[in-house]
A and B are shown apart, each in its own frame.
Chain A
Amino acid sequence: VSEIETTFVKAINATLARAMRDDERLIVLGEDVAEGGPYGATAGLGQEFGAERVRNTPISEGAICGIAIGAAQAGLPVVVEIMFIDFITLALDQLVNQAAKAHFMSGGQLTVPLVLRTQGGAGSRSAAQHSQSLEAWLAHVPGLKVAMPSSAADAAGLLMSAIADPNPVVFIENKSLYFRRERAPRTAQPMALGEAHVVRPGRDVTVVALSRLVGESLAAADRLAAEGIEAEVIDPRTLTPLDLETIVESVRRTRRAVVAHEAVSHGGFGAEIVAQLQAAAFEFLAAPVGRVGAPFTPVALSPPLEDAYRPGRDQVYQAALAAIGRGPS
């Protein structure tokens, strides 16, 4: 496969442009999208496709989502950008009570082919209201699909599938991944929603990591490997649907597992993975499943406090050691 050097945000941008060229009905809505948005994910789309298809909206997330849902129900595929996932609180009524339920409540007559792109995550000194990881709220709602890509290649492939999906898909990006240089296929191919990726094979412990924690877990795996411990790193790629089968198959071999994400551990999606894993593979587990996540506090503006809040490779390393009985829990 021919590859190029790109970044996560460029992959998003290129995929949106390609999708809009392929389907002239597809529209993009959001705050400042015609100017590229805060990180440039929609840069150039306004110039190429015009103001009819790349529409700046007022600062009203509920209205943006409501308009998008109505358009999608009427047969117009839509990609909405909610600038920060922290602002999704303002769109939840439309997303949870309308988009997620339209198909069900209409007895299958309505569909909502909507992609809601947003980004979250700490690390950019953006404080408590611009740094959260709220994916667990969304994964809790039947009718929504939730994707969390961890690389530029996955972002492109999953976004293609999300746009083609007839259901509302919440597509959660992590801002700290946006500008990292990566290799990715020159021509992205769709990646199925609900297929996990075994990013690194290993025999001693399974690390199930979401979004930014995938890269952090790979770094932890390198450190573990230097000590003779082979960690298998799995990226579920989507929380809903969740590819439990790949996780269980791994744990049957390794018998030990750690779940890692940036969100607050308490009530986080890691708890759901642990619960499903122990129900499906309890007899194979040789130790409790370790969890890596943020402490139960808001994200602080203070750099030292934010750095202390944000889970990373060191926490994954320690949790993996604990899972195999070589370190403190």
Chain B
Amino acid sequence: VARFQAHGLEAGWFDEHAADAIARQAGDEVERAVSVARASPVPEPELAAQLVYAQASPAP
């Protein structure tokens, strides 16, 4: 990521301000996801078996 960011800055794809904004945005998204996960109930063991196979969508 660091190499890509350096290359992007050098190539003029974005400036440092935009790169910082992207990093902040990504960090916020991760923090929100972690918060939701921590606030969620512990999954029931049965959930594991339910997620092994997708169910066919009902016919329209």
Contacts and interface: CB of A to CB of B under 8 A. Distances in A.
Interface of A: 103-104, 107-108, 111-112, 142-143, 145, 164-167
A132 to B, nearest CB: 26
A145 B56 CA distance: 14
B60 to A, nearest CB: 14
A108 B53 CA distance: 9
B54 A167 contact: yes
A103 B51 CA distance: 7
Grouping DSSP codes into helix (H, G, I), strand (E, B) and loop, the B interface class, with mixed when no group exceeds half, is: loop
Q: How large is the interface on B (under 10, 10 to 19, 20 to 34, 35 or more residues)?
A: under 10
Nearest to A100: B52
Contacts of B56: 164-166
A307 B28 CA distance: 65
B35 interface: no
A95 B35 CA distance: 33
A90 B51 CA distance: 26
B38 to A, nearest CB: 16
Contacts of B53: 103, 143, 145, 167
Given A103-B51, A103-B52, A145-B53, 19 more contacts: A103-B53, A103-B54, A104-B48, A104-B51, A104-B52, A107-B51, A108-B51, A111-B54, A112-B54, A143-B52, A143-B53, A164-B56, A165-B56, A166-B54, A166-B55, A166-B56, A166-B57, A167-B53, A167-B54
Interface string B32-60: 00000000000000001001111111000
Nearest to B49: A142
Contacts of A107: 51
A108 to B, nearest CB: 5
Nearest to B50: A108
Contacts of A145: 53
24 contacts: A103-B51, A103-B52, A103-B53, A103-B54, A104-B48, A104-B51, A104-B52, A107-B51, A108-B51, A108-B54, A111-B54, A112-B54, A142-B52, A143-B52, A143-B53, A145-B53, A164-B56, A165-B56, A166-B54, A166-B55, A166-B56, A166-B57, A167-B53, A167-B54
Contacts of B52: 103-104, 142-143
